Structure 1
Amino acid sequence: MHTVVVLALDGVISFDLATPVEVFGRTCLPDGRPAYRVLVCAPAPTVDAGVFTLCASRGLDALAEADTIVLPGCADPGLPVPAEVIDALRRAAAAGTRIASICSGAFILAATGLLNGHRATTHWLATAELAARYPEIEVDPGVLYVDNGSLLTSAGAAAGIDLCLHMVRRDYGSAVAADAARKSVVPLEREGGQAQFIVHDQPPTPRGSVLEPVLRWIQDNSARDLSLDEIAVQAGMSTRTLNRRFREHTGTTPLQWLLRARIRQAQHLLEVTSHPVDRIAGQVGFGSPTAFRDRFKRVVGTSPHNYRAAFHADR
Structure 2
Amino acid sequence: MSFVHQRIATFTSLPVGALTSSSLSAQGIELSAGSNPVSPAWGEVVDCAAGWSYGGGSTMTAAGCTQALRFPYDDFSESFRPASPPIMFWSLSLTYRTTLPYVTLYLYPTSGQGNANACKVRLNRTEPIASPRPPAFVYSASNSVTVTASECGWGAGSTFFSFSFYVGVEGSSAGIDVFELLLESFTLEAGAAPSPSPPSPAPPSPEPPSPAPPSPQPLVFGSSRTINTTAPNVGVGFYQTGDTNYNNKCEKTLDRTEPIVTEPAPASFTYTAPPKTVTVTPADCVGGWPPGSTFDNFYIFTTLSDAGAVLWNLMIGK
Give the TM-score band, short-chain normalised: under 0.3
Structure that is richer in strand per residue: 2
Structure that is richer in helix per residue: 1
TM normalised by structure 1 equals: 0.25
